[in-house]
Amino acid sequence: MDCLFCRIIKGEIPATVLFDDPEVMVIRDIRPQAPTHLLVLPKKHIATINDTDSNDEQLLGRMILTAKKMAHHEHLSDFGYRLVFNVNAGGGQEVYHIHLHVLGGRQMTWPPG
Please give the domain boundaries of the chain with CATH numbers for all domains: 4-104 (3.30.428.10)
Task: Read off the pLDDT of each residue in 6-26 and give the average, rounded to a whole number.
Answer: 98
The whole model's pTM is what? 0.96
Residue 73, pLDDT above cutoff 80: yes
Residue 59, pLDDT above cutoff 80: yes
Catalytic residues: 99
Tell me whether the omega of the peptide bond preceding residue 111 falls within 30 degrees of 0, making it cis: yes
**What amino acid occupies position 47?**
A
Cβ–Cβ < 8 Å for 45, 1: yes
pLDDT band at 112 (very low <50, low <70, confident <90, very high): confident
Cα 110 to Cα 4, 7, 82, 100, distances in angstroms:
30, 34, 11, 19
